């Protein structure tokens, strides 16, 4: 399969179905992942009442929004990379919001 030089799609994403790009399943998975990330941050915000000093279990937050432990860890890593949360311990999933995390929730 060829991907045009100007195309933003990688060959892996350019799989076709019936001769046309088939992104519906991928779009649904991406949308669900994004929705869980947003739900995680909002739930964390609510759990700590917008505090930037209170640590809670990110795994428990994830469980309440329907994410398993593996997905919760990915969400934790994502928000830590964006500096919206601080991680005390990745093994136990203990996290807290940062001021930037509070701002992100309040401006959404």
Residue 24 pLDDT = 74
Query: What is the pLDDT averaged over residues 1-10?
Result: 42
Please name the residues in contact with 37: beta carbons below 8 A apart, sequence gap of 6 or more: 75, 78, 79
Residue 61 pLDDT = 98
Torsion of CA 70, 90, 30, 19, to 10 degrees: -70
Hey, what domains does the chain have and what are their CATH numbers?
A: 22-106 (1.10.10.10)
Question: Could you tell me what percentage of the chain is helix, strand and coil, using 3-state DSSP and rounding each to the nearest 5?
Answer: 50, 15, 40
The span from the first CA to the last CA of the chain, in angstroms, equals 40
Between 8-17, 22-31, 39-48, the lowest mean confidence (pLDDT) is in: 8-17
Taking only the tens place, the pLDDT of each residue in 53-91 is 999 999 999 999 999 999 999 999 999 999 999 999 999
Residue 36 has pLDDT above 70, yes or no: yes
Residue with tokens 């994410």: 67
* Of 59, 41, 37, the residue nearest 50 (C-alpha): 41
pTM for the model: 0.77
């Amino acid at each position: 399969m060829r991907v045009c030089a100007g195309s933003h799609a990688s060959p892996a994403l350019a799989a076709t179905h019936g001769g046309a790009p088939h992104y519906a399943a991928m779009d649904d998975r991406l949308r669900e992942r994004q929705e869980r990330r947003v739900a995680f941050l909002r739930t964390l915000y609510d759990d700590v009442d917008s505090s930037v000093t209170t640590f809670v279990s990110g795994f428990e937050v994830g469980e309440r929004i329907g994410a398993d432990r593996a997905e919760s860890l990915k969400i934790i890593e994502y928000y830590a990379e964006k500096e919206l949360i601080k991680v005390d311990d990745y093994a136990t999933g203990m996290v807290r919001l940062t001021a930037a995390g509070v701002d992100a929730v309040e401006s959404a």
